[in-house]
Copies of this chain bind each other. A is one copy, B any other.
Amino acid sequence: MGVTIYDLAREAGVGIGTVSRCLNNHPNVSAQTRTKVLSVAKLLNYQPHAHAQRLASKKSNTISTIIPFFTNYFFVEILQGVQDRALELGYDLILYGVNNPAQAEYYLRRSLQGGHVDGVMYFSMKFPENYITKFEEIGLPVVLVDTFHEKFDSIRVKNKEGAMLATRHLLQLGHRGIAMINASLDTLPAKDRLEGFRAALEEFDVPFSAERVFTATNGKQDGFNREAGYHSMKNLLQASGGLQSISAIFIASDVQAIGALDAAREMGVRVPDDIAIVSFDDIELAEHSQLTTMRQPMHEMGTLALDKLFARTKDPKAQPTLTEFMPELIIRQTCGANDASTHSFSSSTRIELEE
């Protein structure tokens, strides 16, 4: 069934070592034998056995991506970047979608399996401490995307600063009754964005009130989804005080904002007339919903993640790196600042931080 290098060797009248050299473009082969072997290989439609190669060479050319709810479009857009670079570099991408914390550990364990993958990309979740040393011992590269740990290469967005920009924008438009719709504080981005929200309020001497932070607790999910946004918005609008005291909301992600818009529409609340909204991410659909939002360079984050992983396989001992992107305020309709003269307050500069 399978053509092996032994077949090629016999057919071409050479040894298997030579065949291997020809196939792998090793230097020390005469042009003549190379042509010969290659033509025989084509003739017999030879296909190398992936796992034999991997066993012998100790390289899998595969990386795993561990992603919470990859149905969240934020991840899809990052994945597209990863995928594009993976194609160039000849990597296979294993997709591990996580639906609860236990699953994340399962996939981590699976990735740890001897030689299974050459590296792991871990998204948005807090990396479990008890796995840190395991990865260090094995020497399996890890890149963290949208989250952080000092032991590993990390890529993320300046969430706190972004949240400040977003909230500040609302404040500058004159709003003072500002609420926040957030996701689970178990995730780093949610925590940082809350901090930024708070810091911006303080800047403007607006007292922070925990009662104005709404987080939908829909089961085990992290809250970065449309439903959670929908429910948070309902809660917000029904809260005592409600629209009396609140005129603007900072929402932790676009998908949540989309859900929030649905809730608002249902309850006859107009955006931005009755309530202004700024969110975070700038997924493709943000434009459709005319969301004013903080843009993250998702595609670039994806390609960079793979580059970092690749670099680390080359130099495992290097210091962990951290790349932080500054999100950019994209003004559309939901914030109520229609004058299109100002399109952005900050440029998405990229900041390299070596530790």
Cβ A52 vs Cβ B55 within 8 A? yes
Say which residue of B54, B76, B139, B351 sits within 8 Å of A1 (CB atoms). Answer: B139
CA distance A350 to B266 in the complex (A): 10
Among A12-20, A27-35, A108-116, A193-201, the stretch that binds chain B is: A108-116
Cβ B51 vs Cβ A261 within 8 A? no
A contacts with B: majority SS: mixed
Cβ A348 vs Cβ B73 within 8 A? no
- Check: A241 CB closer than 8 A to any chain B CB: no
* A residues 44-85 touching B (CB-CB < 8 Å): 47-52, 54-55, 60, 62, 70-71, 73, 76-77, 79-80, 83
CA distance A296 to B308 in the complex (A): 39
Given the interface pairs A94-B94, A226-B284, A353-B333, the reply to whether A348 lies near B60 with Cβ below 8 Å is: no
Given the interface pairs A51-B51, A71-B77, A345-B265, the reply to whether A83 lies near B95 with Cβ below 8 Å is: yes
Residues of B within 8 A of A244 (CB): none
Given the interface pairs A50-B114, A71-B80, the reply to whether A351 lies near B264 with Cβ below 8 Å is: yes
Cβ B92 vs Cβ A94 within 8 A? yes
Residues of B within 8 A of A96 (CB): 93
CA distance A168 to B304 in the complex (A): 49
- Check: A311 CB closer than 8 A to any chain B CB: no
Q: How many copies of this chain does the complex contain? A: 2
Specify which of A287, A333, A351 lies most central, judged by the most chain B CB atoms within 10 Å of its CB: A351
21 contacts between A and B (CB under 8 A): A48-B114, A50-B114, A51-B51, A51-B55, A51-B60, A51-B116, A52-B115, A55-B55, A62-B94, A70-B76, A70-B80, A71-B77, A76-B76, A83-B95, A93-B95, A226-B285, A264-B351, A265-B351, A270-B351, A273-B352, A290-B353
User: A interface vs B, CB < 8 Å?
Assistant: 1-2, 47-52, 54-55, 60, 62, 70-71, 73, 76-77, 79-80, 83, 87, 92-97, 103, 110, 112-116, 138-139, 226, 258-259, 261-262, 264-266, 268, 270-271, 273, 284-285, 287-290, 333-334, 338, 345-346, 348, 350-353, 355
